[in-house]
Amino acid sequence: MKKVQAINLLEFLSKNFFWYAIVSLITGSFDPRTWWFTQFFWGGVLFTIFEFVLLGSCLKEIEEDGN
């Protein structure tokens, strides 16, 4: 048996939409270019790390038969 990981795309998109809505409410703007953490280099780094954590939480393990 071989284990393969796949992403649950619907879960990933729904989590991204949820966080987009939360941050939009907090900042008062729907434009991500005006959010404070996208204005600076380290904010972009934090955003990238957050997206990787979000992506990792949407992975599911699939067991495949080797035949």
The closest alpha carbon to 66, from 3, 2, 9, 6, belongs to 2
Which residues have C-beta within 8 Å of that of residue 58, sequence separation ≥ 6? Answer: 7, 8, 9, 11, 12, 15
Q: What is the pLDDT of residue 63?
A: 78
| Predicted pLDDT of residue 67 | 59
Q: Spell out the per-residue pLDDT of the chain, length 67, in tens.
A: 788 888 889 999 999 999 999 999 999 999 988 888 888 999 889 999 999 999 999 988 887 776 5
- For 20, the token pair is 């987009």
Q: What is the pTM of this model?
A: 0.76
Provide φ and ψ at 39, rounded to 5°.
-85, -15
Residue 48 has what pLDDT? 92
Structure tokens at 29: 């703007």
